[in-house]
Chain A
Amino acid sequence: MSQATVRIPAPLRSFTGGAAEVAVEGDTVGEVLRSLSEIHSGLKQQILTDKDGVRDFVNIFVDNKNIRSLAGLESPVTEDAVIYIVPAVAGGGS
């Protein structure tokens, strides 16, 4: 199992007791995010869908790459990888 660091954006830190980074083990992004959700319950429904996909409101990056352009939640995680949960930021004037 690889040890990865998950970077938590400010709006989701209420689910991690204020922690900005959490160290989690896993060999794929999905494994890491599921373990993370076991450590910090409540986080799962913020980032993952019931069908085990990534919610539309977040983007997951491994190092510099969006996992949507890789193998999604099956994307491999190497030792010391940094996984970023990036909130989708959108809106408008009307």
Chain B
Amino acid sequence: MSPLRAVETASTQLWLPAVLQHELSRFAQASYPLEACGLLVGRAGDTKIDTVRVVPARNLNLERPEDRYLLDPQDFLATDRAARAEGLEIVGIWHSHPDHPARPSGTDLESAWEGYSYLIISTTADGAAALRSWRLVGDRFVEEAVEQEDTEP
């Protein structure tokens, strides 16, 4: 790996208040050892992605729910509508990696879209272990910094 590549990060930052981070960990852990998935709702600026809500969604992949997810498009639609009514948007996708690191897999890469934050929570028998965010740039993922706001806006 070249040094240039090693320091490369996304041009955006994902702002995720502590209260939402905890909520997300609870959602992710509740499904352990199966994968959990859902959506991030908020406002997307040029460099700052503001998360206002985290929404759980159904995983339609019933063949390999321990290491695959297919987010129910009906949940996507309902979340999009509710977000829009509040002047918000779907800004990202979250999913858990039971007993795997919070890094995108090859499967994640195959179905990724540019323009969303992909938040991954690593879950273990002892609890949520790590949380990292990624964005697709061209044909690969780059890491996006996750910032935590301490106070409610």
Contact = CB atoms under 8 A, between A and B. Distances in A.
B71 A64 contact: no
Contacts of B70: 88-90
Nearest to B136: A11
A66 B72 CA distance: 11
B71 A90 contact: yes
Given A7-B80, A10-B44, A13-B115, A91 B95 contact: yes
Contacts of A9: 80, 90, 113
A26 B61 CA distance: 34
B138 to A, nearest CB: 13
Nearest to A13: B115
A90 B76 contact: no
A66 to B, nearest CB: 7
Interface in B95-112: 95-100, 104-105, 107-108, 110-112
A14 B97 CA distance: 30
Nearest to B90: A10
A90 B61 contact: yes
B69 A86 contact: no
Contacts of A94: 67, 100, 105, 107
Interface of B: 35, 37, 44, 61, 64, 66-71, 73-74, 76-77, 80, 89-91, 93, 95-100, 104-105, 107-108, 110-116, 118
26 contacts: A11-B114, A11-B116, A13-B115, A14-B115, A59-B73, A61-B73, A61-B77, A66-B73, A84-B80, A86-B76, A86-B77, A87-B76, A89-B73, A89-B76, A89-B113, A90-B71, A90-B111, A91-B95, A91-B104, A91-B118, A92-B105, A92-B108, A93-B96, A93-B97, A93-B98, A94-B107
